[in-house]
């Protein structure tokens, strides 16, 4: 019986604690929170100002390239061929701006693998092109065909012979090849328009609605995609692999745009800019900025030593740009004759890989999306 008052007071304490917590929580709600980071605003900005305009441009450029291929097929002259090469380059340049945004419709279609798997398998490309028949085209949806399609296969088919004259002679001798070129261009254009249409007709809403913090939410996925693309496509694919980081010797034949080697550096620059701009929330038209990873890091007061973590990332981006600027020759020539200059660029890119994969991902509390095991 003597226990009773004690018990009661314990319940009181518990109730009081819970009550206090609920009370403070409701108080805060009433005050409103202007400084809450709004993920859905950030996602809207990404979708409206960066991702959709990028896909829109790619849709236009890839369609133009496909038309140029059709025109060339009917004319087979050097003027049409020059136009085709230039439209191909515009489309490939535009590709560098969307490659980072494979999330959703692009991923569903394996668009990155279909558009830009390199090195291309020249023997397979040559075989398929020279024996191409309109009535029985290869099934380019199959993963085994990723090494014989997309821009890298076109790079081979449009540039491997060298001069325009030699290219035209080749097509003259193997008219089937032109049909294959048309097929590859039309596939890229179809992918571009499908992905763009999916974004405009519903995926954009899905993307913005997934504004949570879980592994499947858009911010988490974009963070994963961003670092994945930076690490694997930009740093490794365009620079590290050809420079021989993962092999005992250099691999210049693994460069992007290896048959048109003057173009590799430009493609790198466009892709690099896409990463920097996305990190900082810069609009596609270059006119404005909006909420971004950089802003989110600042909001979370993330520091690296005495400087803002976002500034540290951007400073390192600048270092990478400087390293790129010291490369005066084409990537191919640089890898072959002066690999240390190429490795210097790799090292600068690598510094941000480390920073982003450790400190930035930690502060953004990003889960690695395919790891969904428990924690404790």
Partner 1 sequence: MPMAIRELYHTINKPTEAAPLAAFRVLFGLLIAVSMIRFVAYGWVEKLYLTPTFHFTYLGLSWVKPLGPWTYILFILCFISALGLAIGYRYKLSAISLFLSFTYIEAMDKTTYLNHYYFISIVALLLCFLPANADFSVDANQSRVQRQYVPVWTIFSVKMFVGIVYFYAGLAKLNTDWLLEAQPLAIWLSTKTDIPIIGHLFEYTWLHYFFSWGGALYDLSIPFLLINKHTRNVAFLLVIAFHIMTRILFPIGMFPWIMIAAATVFFPSDTLKNILTKTFKFLRPNTSIHNASRLYFSKILVGVIIISQILLPWRYLVYPGELFWHEQGFRFSWRVMVMEKQGYTTFRVVDKNNGENWTVKNEDFLTTFQEKQMAFQPDFILEYAHHLAHYYKINHNRDIAVYADSYVSLNGRSTKPFVDPTIDLTTRSRNLKPIDWLLPFNDNIHGI
Please, where are the H alpha helices in the chain?
3-31, 39-45, 52-75, 78-98, 105-108, 111-116, 122-130, 150-159, 164-173, 176-198, 204-209, 218-228, 264-280, 293-299, 309-325, 331-337, 339-355, 361-363
Max Cα separation, the chain?
Answer: 107
Distance of closest approach, residue 312 Cβ to partner 1, in angstroms: 8
**How far from 175 is each of 130, 132, 318, CA to CA, in Å?**
8, 9, 47
Nearer to partner 1, 6 or 287 (CB): 6
Determine, following the binding rule CB under 8 A, whether residue 35 of this chain makes contact with partner 1: yes
Length, in residues, of the chain: 376
Ramachandran angles phi, psi of 72, nearest 5°: -60, -40
Nearer to partner 1, 47 or 302 (CB): 302
Distance of closest approach, residue 268 Cβ to partner 1, in angstroms: 20
- Site size toward partner 1 (CB under 8 A) is 51
Ramachandran angles phi, psi of 241, nearest 5°: -65, -50
Residue owning tokens 């550096």? 265
Determine, following the binding rule CB under 8 A, whether residue 217 of this chain makes contact with partner 1: yes
Position among 104, 150, 244, 261 found at the interface with partner 1 (CB under 8 A): 244
Report the alpha-carbon angle 110-96-168, nearest 5.
Answer: 90
Position among 144, 172, 328, 358 found at the interface with partner 1 (CB under 8 A): 358
- 304 sits in which H/E element: strand 303-304
Q: How many CB atoms are located within 10 Å of the residue 373 CB? A: 4
Choices 10-18, 41-49, 112-120, 282-290 (CB under 8 A): range interacting with partner 1: 10-18
Distance of closest approach, residue 365 Cβ to partner 1, in angstroms: 4
Determine, following the binding rule CB under 8 A, whether residue 365 of this chain makes contact with partner 1: yes
Residues 288-317 contacting partner 1, CB under 8 A: 300, 302-305
Determine, following the binding rule CB under 8 A, whether residue 73 of this chain makes contact with partner 1: no
Position among 124, 245, 276, 339 found at the interface with partner 1 (CB under 8 A): 245
Determine, following the binding rule CB under 8 A, whether residue 10 of this chain makes contact with partner 1: yes
Mask for 324-353, x = binds partner 1 (CB under 8 A): -----------------------------x
Residue owning tokens 């605003």? 41
Determine, following the binding rule CB under 8 A, whether residue 372 of this chain makes contact with partner 1: yes
Judge residue 84's burial from the number of C-beta atoms within 10 Å of its C-beta, 0-12 exposed, 13-18 middle, 19 or more buried: buried
330, 264 in Cβ contact below 8 A? yes
Determine, following the binding rule CB under 8 A, whether residue 33 of this chain makes contact with partner 1: yes
Distance of closest approach, residue 30 Cβ to partner 1, in angstroms: 11
Determine, following the binding rule CB under 8 A, whether residue 373 of this chain makes contact with partner 1: yes
Nearer to partner 1, 7 or 287 (CB): 7
Determine, following the binding rule CB under 8 A, whether residue 170 of this chain makes contact with partner 1: no
Determine, following the binding rule CB under 8 A, whether residue 30 of this chain makes contact with partner 1: no
Position among 36, 74, 135, 139 found at the interface with partner 1 (CB under 8 A): 36
CA pair distance 158, 18, nearest whole angstrom: 71
Determine, following the binding rule CB under 8 A, whether residue 6 of this chain makes contact with partner 1: yes
**Residue from 239, 85, 71, 238 nearest 162 by CA:** 85
Terminal CA-to-CA distance of the chain, rounded, Å?
Answer: 42
CA pair distance 234, 346, nearest whole angstrom: 10
CA pair distance 90, 84, nearest whole angstrom: 10
Contact positions vs partner 1 (CB under 8 A): 3, 6-7, 10-11, 13-14, 18, 25, 28-29, 33, 35-37, 39, 211-213, 217, 244-249, 300, 302-305, 353-355, 357-359, 361-365, 367-368, 370-376
């Amino acid at each position: 019986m003597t226990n009773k008052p004690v018990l009661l007071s314990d319940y009181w304490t518990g109730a009081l604690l819970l009550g206090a917590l609920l009370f403070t929580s409701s108080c805060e709600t009433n005050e409103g929170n202007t400084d809450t980071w709004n993920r859905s605003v950030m996602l809207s900005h990404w979708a409206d100002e960066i991702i959709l305009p990028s896909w829109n441009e790619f849709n236009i450029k890839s369609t133009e390239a496909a038309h140029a291929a059709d025109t060339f097929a009917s004319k087979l002259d050097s003027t049409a061929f020059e136009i085709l090469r230039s439209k191909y380059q515009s489309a490939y340049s535009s590709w560098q701006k969307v490659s980072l945004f494979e999330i959703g419709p692009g991923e569903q279609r394996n668009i990155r693998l279909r558009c830009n798997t390199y090195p291309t398998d020249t023997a397979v490309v040559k075989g398929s092109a020279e024996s191409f028949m309109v009535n029985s085209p290869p099934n380019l949806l199959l993963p085994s065909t990723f090494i014989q399609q997309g821009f890298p296969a076109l790079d081979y088919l449009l540039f491997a012979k060298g001069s325009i004259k030699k290219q035209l002679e080749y097509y003259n001798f193997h008219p089937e090849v032109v049909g294959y070129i048309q097929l590859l261009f039309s596939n890229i254009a179809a992918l571009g328009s499908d992905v763009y249409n999916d974004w405009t007709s519903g995926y954009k809403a899905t993307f913005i609605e997934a504004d949570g913090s879980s592994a499947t939410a858009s911010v988490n996925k974009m963070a994963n995609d961003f670092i994945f693309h930076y690490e694997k496509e930009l740093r490794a694919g365009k620079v590290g692999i050809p420079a021989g980081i993962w092999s005992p010797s250099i691999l210049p034949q693994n460069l992007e745009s290896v048959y048109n080697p003057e173009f590799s550096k430009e493609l790198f620059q466009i892709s690099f800019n896409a990463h920097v701009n996305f990190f900082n929330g810069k609009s596609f038209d270059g006119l404005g900025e909006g909420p971004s990873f950089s802003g989110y890091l600042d909001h979370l007061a993330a520091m690296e030593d005495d400087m803002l973590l976002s500034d540290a990332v951007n400073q390192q981006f600048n270092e990478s740009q400087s390293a790129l600027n010291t490369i005066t020759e084409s990537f191919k020539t640089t890898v072959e004759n002066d690999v240390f200059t190429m490795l210097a660029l790799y090292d600068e890119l690598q510094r941000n890989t480390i920073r982003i994969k450790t400190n930035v991902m930690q502060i953004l509390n990003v889960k690695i999306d395919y790891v969904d095991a428990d924690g404790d």
